[in-house]
Amino acid sequence: MSAAPGSKGKVLLAYSGGLDTSCILVWLIEQGYEVLAYMANVGQEEDFDAAREKALKVGASKVFIEDLRRELVEELVIPTIQANAVYEAVYLLGTSVARPVIARSQVAIAQREGCTHVSHGCTGKGNDQVRFELAYYALDPKLQVIAPWRIPEFYHRFPGRNALLAYAAEKNVPVSQTPSKPWSTDENLFHISYEAGILEDPNVTPPKDMWKLTVDPEEAPNTPERITIEFKAGKPVRVTNEADGTDVSDPLDLFLYLNTVARRNGVGRIDIVENRFIGIKSRGCYETPGGTVLRAAHIDLEGLVLDREVRAYRDEHITPVFGKILYNGLYFSPEGDLITKMVPLTQTNVNGSVRVKLYKGTLSIEGRWSETETLYDMEQSSMD
């Protein structure tokens, strides 16, 4: 028997508009909660108006859609680039970097609306459940967390997609009729990830139509594209492209333009097997177009302008720790706060520009210079 709506409290659900979270929304109402829906715009391709209407139709009392793209770039993406952060040498932390801003906004809305609970639709075998919940607990320990995919009553009732579809039909939840792709994705303006389904066999080659963001490198333009990226204190402040006349300096616009350039040149794909925080190995395919270009340019400039011992200390004590903190969901921990504050201290002298060539899935550095830093002395370095 269903409990009276709202009798168990008010919950803010991280809502995607998809089958899982739509069914979770209805199920939470059925359990006796008043449900408010929350969506974060972190640059994913999404019809937010349609998702709002759907959430309200299936029973949400309110819907909040927050544009977090700028704070994602300025507060997470750029510091990640400054730190040259990476997980297990190859993964550029595309999913991880978005979670702190999403969780922080969710907690702020929950507090403002007087919610007693927050909820998410993360699987019980993935990293995101950890990232979201550690953020919730750090930001407001009084909020109670509902994680349906770890509640036996829920996952026994919905053992697979067909059960969710049947429940959706029973409860008049609108469901897209497009066939489900044999993998799952997570997208933000930094990257898109692909995992599960056919990708769980690490020896299966991803089909060409899986890759959503980047042009197939074999089909990319036959003419190289060249851009110049300027940095101040390790932050990208300007991108120019003489070929098409582009000159951008706003942080969000700059990053979106780098995505555009890298995507059309097939740059930023990787296919890896990684170690999840919860102790399971996982195969993932990722597209991180603009981030791949930006990180390569930043690392190159550091070779020109950064003190040797500062760089060595950062590479040993800050870069791997920052990456692990992001990956494991510890951004709001005391150690996360400490390491985040340390990153800018290593970047004071990272000032200059880098010329980058993009061509058929590759990028190469064609030159770099600085008008303010003088550690490199051409006369001193000369072999003549």
**Sequential DSSP letters for 292-361:** HHHHHHHHHHHHHHS-HHHHHHHHHHTHHHHHHHHHTT-TTSHHHHHHHHHGGGG-TT--EEEEEEEETT
Find out whether 257 and 239 touch, Cβ atoms under 8 Å: yes
Cα–Cα distance for residue pair 54/60, rounded to 1 Å: 9
What tokens appear for 168 in the block? 């959706």
Residue among 103, 114, 190, 87 nearest 139 (CA): 103
Q: Which of 22, 52, 105, 128 is catalytic?
A: 128
- Distance CA(243)–CA(54), nearest Å, equals 44
Q: Which of 20, 22, 69, 314 is catalytic?
A: 20
67 is known as an active-site residue: no
Residue of 22, 52, 69, 99 marked active site: 99
114 backbone dihedrals φ, ψ, rounded to 5°? 70, 35
From the list 340, 332, 214, the residue with the least C-alpha distance to 266 is 214
Judge whether 20 counts as a catalytic residue. yes
CA distances from 183 to 14, 60, 287 (A): 21, 28, 15
Let me know if 184 is a catalytic residue. Answer: yes
Q: How far is CA 118 from CA 5, 124, 193, 333, 347, in A?
A: 16, 16, 25, 19, 37
Tell me whether residue 128 is one of the annotated catalytic residues: yes
From residue 125, give the alpha-carbon distance in Å to each of 198, 256, 294.
Answer: 17, 32, 32
Q: Which of 61, 184, 253, 333 is catalytic?
A: 184
Active site residues: 20, 99, 128, 184
